[in-house]
Amino acid sequence: MADVIDIDDPADPRIADFRDLNSADRRPDLPGGKGLVIAEGTVVVQRMLASRFTPFALLGVSRRFEQLEADLADVDVPYYRTTAEVMAEVVGFHLNRGVLAAARRPHELTVDEALARARTVAVLEGVNDHENIGSIFRNAAGLGADAVLFGDRCSDPLYRRAVRVSMGHVLRVPFAQLPPLPGSLDILRDNGFQIIALTPDPASGTLAAAMTGEKVALLLGAEGPGLTEETMRASDIRARIPMTPGTDSLNVATAAAMAFYERVRIQ
């Protein structure tokens, strides 16, 4: 059972790893700093507990401990119990979700490890919005995508906001960093993946018609610039999601969800 420790002083050094979560300079989840992974809320903490990201401490109010008590029954970890007011002083803002868990980053998966059992993967290029990254992981978990691979210029998927928006699925869906694109697409090709570049170009065929491979890698670029021309040229085929006239593009997380759904539908 977790060891419950009551905290009434926001300056208590035992909870230092939860301090200043909204400070750009001192955030504990910065990869170059402490490099911690922070889970917010009961559901996300539960998913962390069931993942390879093992928490070393929790901070939360009494009610959230009661909700997590069964999940923590076999976990030897301190639960620093405090009030919502003390939590707000520690983290730097009022936390509606009432509980945080902190874990250290485990070893990064290799591309081969992320692809080991995958048949549908997303490959991101230049996606630097944390909420979009979190949403892509949530969509991947809900619609059967097996892994997410990161190309150039993507944001950290373990940033607190990305973890929260993903509802903790970034802790469960395998992901890995690719070598520079477009050359690294050969790794996917050598593993039997058909490589499809998503584009709003009306001259491209539809995604439903394009997905013919037993394994499919869906390339997605940032909103606005999209995929680079070099990456699209290195793909096997370009494909679009049909949209009504006058619409230039979809949110990248929405496009990913539609692509994942289409993949499930035709399998």
Q: Is 167 left (phi over 0), alpha (psi -120 to 50) or beta?
A: left
Question: For 81-111, what is each residue's pLDDT tens digit?
Answer: 999 999 999 998 888 889 999 999 999 999 9
- Per-residue pLDDT of 127-145, as tens digits, reads 999 999 999 999 999 999 9
* 48 pLDDT higher than 70: yes
| Angle between helices 130-143 and 252-266 in degrees, nearest 10 | 10
Structure tokens at 144: 């059967």
The Cα–Cα gap between 220 and 261 comes to 15
Could you count the other beta carbons within 10 Å of the beta carbon of residue 70? Answer: 9
Q: For residue 57, which of 111, 109, 3 has the smallest C-alpha distance?
A: 3
Per residue in 175-192, pLDDT (tens digit) is: 999 999 999 999 999 999
Distances 29 to 93, 153, 157, 243 between C-alpha atoms, Å: 16, 19, 11, 38
For 242, phi then psi, to 5°, come to -60, 135
The SS3 of residue 185 is: helix
Answer for the pair 146, 118: CB distance below 8 angstroms, yes or no.
yes
Each residue's pLDDT tens digit, 144-159: 999 999 999 999 999 9
pLDDT value of residue 186: 96
* Percent of the chain's residues with pLDDT above 70: 99
Q: How many beta carbons lie within 10 A of that of residue 224, not counting itself? A: 9
Measured over the CA atoms of residue 9, residue 11, residue 12 and residue 18, the dihedral's sign is positive
Average pLDDT over residues 47-61: 96
Give me the pLDDT at residue 26, please.
67
Distances (CA, A) of 151 to 41, 42, 45, 52, 239: 30, 31, 28, 23, 19
What does each C-alpha distance from 164 to 22, 54, 126, 198 come to in angstroms?
14, 16, 21, 26
Q: What are phi and psi of 15, to 5 degrees?
A: -110, 20
Q: Which residues pair with 80 in a beta bridge?
A: 5, 59
**Beta-strand pair 99-104/55-60:** antiparallel
Predicted local distance difference test score (pLDDT) of residue 250: 87
248/14: higher pLDDT: 14
